[in-house]
Structure 1
Amino acid sequence: MQLKTKNIQQLLTVATCSLLGSAASAEESNAWSFDTALMYYGETDRVSAVEGIISGTKEYSDGHFLNLKLTLDTLTGASANGAVPQDKVQTFTRPSGKGSYDIGAGQTPLDDTFQDTRVQLNAQWTQPLAENYLGSAGVHFSKEYDYLSLGFNGNIARELNQKNTTLSLGVAYSYDSIDPEGGVPIAFTPMLHKGTEPNRLSGSENKTTIDMLFGVTQIINRRMLMQLNYSYSQVDGYLSDPFKVVSVVNDNGEALTHLYENRPDSRTKQSVFWQTKYHLTDSVIDFSYRYMWDDWDISSHTFDLRYNIPLSGSYFEPHVRYYIQSAAEFYRPFMMENEALDFASADYRIGEMDGLTLGVKYGMPLENNTEVSFRFELFKQTPTNPGYEKPGILANLELYESIDAVIFQINYSF
């Protein structure tokens, strides 16, 4: 099976719109086409999420496309607050500053009242600008209980080399505002009940993000397509997590107090991404690699492999993804008594870790250019010790608990 011209053009359009999501491919008519998805993500004894997406694309005359997308998701369950486990029961304050919860001896401190609902709207317009030039512009709106995000993006692509090469440039800007219940905690102040100490600020905090992407997509031959991207991201403003704390322990590893974390107010991220799709006689191999680094001293490698195997009237696609990440320079699983630091966070998401995803997708084309597909994946994330000695009682406690999750998704295109 060879690469067809229509499939190539769809892939190139996706490449130019990759900053804030890709436009779905439309049929060659003025009718709407829709992609819908329902996904469940569930961690063992932790967070679970249900997400629904509907994306509609309409193709107008002369290659003009309008894409509208609605995303709804809900998150519930327990989230790690960053504190270390102890050999006795611990009591923590709720994120709102009202009420408390107990964590048993030897258990990872989890706040089991984590709950949120998010609504996101995206709109993207794509059209030819001149001969061999394609432009795209879009906006997005996202709202959670305590979080608001607004943004826009613009992309331009240039085809050359008899349309075998596409150069793309994209820029996106977003403004985010966070207003946590109970107020924004003051960095390095103790986790206490609301009103007991002046450790929370009134009003909201915000951050801004500027993303840039430079890409090259190349048709190597009738069977191979290759893409290479470089992206740059600058984030400024409030970057701490208002719900995370860092435990302060003595020489015996006993927690004396728990302080709200503090992160730098800027972050510069860069990444390179390489992807190759190759059509064998019948099947398709899709391999990609991403390397990311930033000025927080985090670097990561992501390897992703998909193998699309046609069956009789359907297809089967195994998937393997491996991720490895180094820790931020200010990541600390705990702080020692009387230790003075400018920044510190015990959030495992910016710590040293690796992650493995194993999954499979099964799809069935139906009548009238419709399709249904099912995806099932198992995910395991394993935080590791970046080199800190565990004093006293912490030596016998698990500070880097692994996370197991399942992912199930149904897609229907019509």
Structure 2
Amino acid sequence: MTTENPDRPPLGNALLAAALLLPGLAAQAEEPPERSTLSVKYLNYEESQSGLDRVHVDSPSVSLVTPIAGAWSLAGSLTSDHVSGASPRYHTAISGASRMKDTRRAGDIAITRYLPNGSVTVGAAYSTEHDYVSRALSLTGTVSSADKNTTWSFGIGGSDDAIDPVNLIVSGESRQTVNVMAGVTQVLTPHDIAQLTLTRTQGHGYYSDPYKMLDNRPRERNQNTLLARWNHYHEGSGGTTRLSYRYYTDTFGIRAHTLGAEHVLPLADGWRITPSVRYHTQRAASFYFDPVYDATLGAPFPPGYVFGGTQFSSADQRLSGFGAVTLGIKVAKEIGRYWTVDLKVEAYQQRGAWRAFANGSPGLDAMRARSIQLGLTRQW
């Protein structure tokens, strides 16, 4: 069974986000990095529903950022996701839990040219698993004001995906997406910096999930995302508070809000601790159906289902109306001048009843997940 998530951002969009939305929210550097940085990470992720183990992921990765030829830098990463377990049970009345095992390998590379008042980055990415291949390219750039207090960012990217499910529901399908992004990063005070970014994604092709019964989705999907972020530096403690708000809308009918907050607190002897919290709420896709089944046909058919019809429908939990909370903490320790080790733990829980502003999908089984990530970074 595929591990590809048909609702995750395409690789082209991910490349743009990586280039423009820096974790620390500092304006993108106008000079190449002074040192090379090599990071090795290991992620362990598990999902569960109603006391049953579901998806298990082991994901080692390695990334490198290094200056080259004076005014250039090179960045790249490699990831291998080893996935096993059972697919999520989307409703209490429908198990739908089929066994799966797959390996996804992905890599990306980006080259940046630094200019007196800006930068230009060209990126490429490739991802493959036994029934899904994705290729992506991106071009991003920044332009800064003379005083460096304002930085405008822009980008364009595209991806081309090939889809060949092993159950032969379809064969030789594809999906293409084009992404554009524009943003501005503004230094407000010596202690405050803010960023506003707008992303537009237009895609066409195969969006249905071939491994889910009665899953038939439109062949076009347009997505808009508005992201606002604000960082505040606390002079007394030396810590930084990071706040974010994300609004998402698409032509499937989903409307989503995501609020995030984290606080980076430096401690003695090179220790650093970062607690975080995130809340997500979304409206269901217009063709999503809850477990209220046709009285004549019975489960799992939605009301009014017509055999051989062309109506859109999906019981995918990711397209439902729900709320979700993520709690996390990251601990990092500097070892000498050039080494850093870190550990990050997150716990996620999703429920239909936690949706804000309106009722969520009532038949959803609560889903829980936890992730543990261990990292080691070396500079030279």
TM-score of the pair, normalised by structure 1: 0.76
Correspondence 1:410 to 2:374 = yes
Say whether the 8 Å CA contact 2:287–2:312 is kept in structure 1: yes
Match of 1:302 among 258, 265, 286: 258
Instruction: Decide whether aligned partners of structure 1 residues 62 and 163 sit closer, same or farther in structure 2, where only a CA change above 3 A counts.
Output: farther
Query: Does structure 1 residue 223 correspond to structure 2 residue 184?
Result: no
- Same amino acid, percent of matched pairs: 27
Assess if the C-alpha contact under 8 Å between 1:16 and 1:156 holds in 2: no
Unaligned runs of 5+ in 2: 1-15, 298-303
* Count of aligned pairs: 337
- Give the partner amino acid of 1:376: V
2:73 alignment partner in structure 1: 65
Whether the aligned pair in 2 keeps the contact of 1:365 and 1:372 (CA below 8 Å) is yes
Q: What's the secondary structure of 1:181's corresponding residue?
A: coil
Structure 1: unaligned runs, 5 residues or longer: 1-13, 86-107, 186-200, 246-259, 390-397
Is 1:278–2:286 an aligned residue pair? no
Equivalent residue for 1:77? 85
CA contact (8 A) 2:40 2:62 kept: yes
Change (3 A) 1:370 1:26: farther
Query: 2:91–2:363: 8 Å Cα contact kept in structure 1?
Result: no
AA paired with 1:156?
G
1:399 to 360, 363, 366: 363
Q: Aligned partners of 1:216 and 1:227: how far apart in 2?
A: 6
The range that moved more, 161-170 or 60-69, is: 60-69
For residues 166-245 of structure 1, the aligned pairs below 5 Å read: 166-183=151-168, 185=169, 201=170, 203-245=171-213
SS in 2 for 1:349: helix
Which secondary structure state, in structure 1, belongs to the residue aligned with residue 87 of structure 2?
A: strand
Pair 17,310 (structure 1): closer, same or farther in 2 beyond 3 Å: same
- TM-score normalised by structure 2 residue count: 0.82
Equivalent pair of 1:290/1:302 in contact (CA under 8 Å): yes
* Shift in alpha-carbon separation, 1:378–1:80, aligned structure 2, 3 A: closer
Indicate which of 34, 38, 52 corresponds to 1:34: 38
- Please tell me whether residue 157 in structure 1 is matched to residue 142 in structure 2: yes
Q: 1:182 to 1:112 in 2, by over 3 A?
A: closer
Q: 1:307-355: CA deviations, max 9, x gaps? A: 1111112011111011001100000125524534610000010010111
Shift of 1:236: 0.5
The alpha-carbon deviation at position 71 of structure 1 amounts to 0.7
Question: 1:343-362 maps to which residues of 2 (within 5 A)?
Answer: 343-362=312-331
- Report matched runs for 1:375-390 at 5 Å: 375-384=344-353
Q: Is the 8 A contact 1:26 1:33 kept in 2?
A: no
Q: Distance in 2 between matches of 1:19 and 1:119?
A: 24
* Native 8 Å contact 1:16 1:157 kept in 2: no
Once the two structures are TM-superposed, the CA of residue 35 in structure 1 deviates from its matched residue by 1.5
CA offsets per residue over residues 189-246 of structure 1, 9 Å max, x none? xxxxxxxxxxxx4x3210001111101011112111111000000110000000111x
Matched, 1:17 2:13: no
Select the structure of larger CA radius of gyration: 1
Could you tell me whether the CA contact under 8 Å between 1:16 and 1:155 is conserved in 2? no
Counterparts of 1:342 and 1:112, CA distance in 2? 25
Residue 388 of structure 1 and its aligned partner are, at CA, apart by 10
Deviations 1:377-407 (A, max 9, x none): 1110113598799xxxxxxxx8310111111
